[in-house]
A and B are shown apart, each in its own frame.
Chain A
Amino acid sequence: AQTVTQSQPEMSVQEAETVTLSCTYDTSESDYYLFWYKQPPSRQMILVIRQEAYKQQNATENRFSVNFQKAAKSFSLKISDSQLGDAAMYFCAYISNFGNEKLTFGTGTRLTIIP
């Protein structure tokens, strides 16, 4: 079974600084998708960014970008110019592009923004 590991239960960053959240995964598949979700205190899960494994180029969405290292099975999220509204739980997730495999989440990283 695929596993997703987020080794940082909590992180903090000064407002306007940059922070990187780590995520590693274990799979024998070659074609899959990776996601980062954000869950603010409102508890609504919000998709932050998505990466297709067949794409070598790292996905970017405004201040959010990923460092996708397929060989190392690593998928870190970089948040630039951190804002107070970025404070949330961040979850990394994986799904295979084959069969009916379900989406697998990591355990999450709680990000605190220091004003």
Chain B
Amino acid sequence: GAGVSQSPSNKVTEKGKDVELRCDPISGHTALYWYRQSLGQGLEFLIYFQGNSAPDKSGLPSDRFSAERTGGSVSTLTIQRTQQEDSAVYLCASSLAYSPLHFGNGTRLTVT
């Protein structure tokens, strides 16, 4: 497809379990972002990948959160030992340098 693809679209997990969220950016896009958005709220920056540079992890809320981007393409956001406060929509976006972001439809995570 031509857009940013995220999977799964919805994920329900039990407290304490680990989850992996996947993002397939637009081919050729060097920049990739992860954001978290609670219901009706703004975008909380999590992590930013740009080319081969070291990622900007300054937004990760705790050491339970990690992300990687393999081969400069697909990215996986991992949340370990999930907590109820992790429930949110997780948005991925990609872009060429200094160009507008293209967003995926997000993954809605519910921790029960």
Contact = CB atoms under 8 A, between A and B. Distances in A.
Given A43-B106, A102-B48, A107 B42 contact: yes
A44 B3 CA distance: 12
Interface residues of B, number: 23
Contacts, number: 46
B45 A45 contact: no
Interface of chain A: mostly helix, strand, loop or mixed = strand
B91 A105 contact: no
A105 B43 contact: yes
A50 B89 contact: no
A8 interface: no
Interface of A: 33, 35, 37, 43-45, 47, 50, 89, 91, 93, 95, 97, 100, 102-108, 110
9 contacts: A44-B103, A45-B103, A47-B100, A89-B42, A100-B51, A103-B101, A105-B45, A108-B41, A108-B42
